[in-house]
């Protein structure tokens, strides 16, 4: 969770650099988690679920899909500053 206090206290160039850093960090974590969860989902393909008897890969593929959606959202939003209540009014 981002806290906008530091962004508002820093001078504009440093605040933009902080926004870029937070954006890149979030993007790398989302893409990395998608990659790791995809590899894990493929590694359990030989096992089946106890209830349905399908491969465990099928339900586990929801994790990389969700992380890729998060990364896509981060890419679309870009390194923008955090919106505050004063900005919305």
Q: Residue 86 has what pLDDT?
A: 67
- The full set of domain ranges for the chain reads 12-78
How far apart, in whole angstroms, are the C-alpha atoms of residue 66 and residue 10? Answer: 33
Answer yes or no: is pLDDT of 87 > 70.
Answer: no
Q: Are 2 and 77 a contacting pair, CB within 8 Å? A: no
Angle at 67 between CA 61 and CA 71, to 5 degrees: 145
Which DSSP string do the residues of 33-50 spell out, in sequence order? HHHHHHHHHHHTTT-B-T
pLDDT digits (tens, 9 = 90+) for 29-77: 999 999 999 999 999 988 888 888 888 999 999 999 999 999 999 999 8
Going by pLDDT thresholds of 50, 70 and 90, the confidence category of residue 25 is: very high
End-to-end distance of the chain based on CA atoms, in angstroms?
Answer: 22
Q: What is the pTM of this model?
A: 0.81
């Amino acid at each position: 969770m981002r806290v906008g206090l530091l962004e508002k206290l820093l001078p504009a160039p440093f605040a933009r650099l902080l926004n870029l850093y937070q954006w890149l960090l979030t993007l790398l974590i989302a893409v990395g988690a998608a990659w790791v969860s995809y590899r894990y989902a493929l590694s359990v393909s030989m096992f089946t679920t106890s209830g349905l008897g399908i491969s465990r890969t099928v339900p586990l593929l929801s994790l990389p899909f969700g992380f890729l959606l998060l990364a896509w959202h981060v890419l679309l939003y870009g390194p923008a500053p955090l919106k505050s209540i004063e900005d919305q009014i």
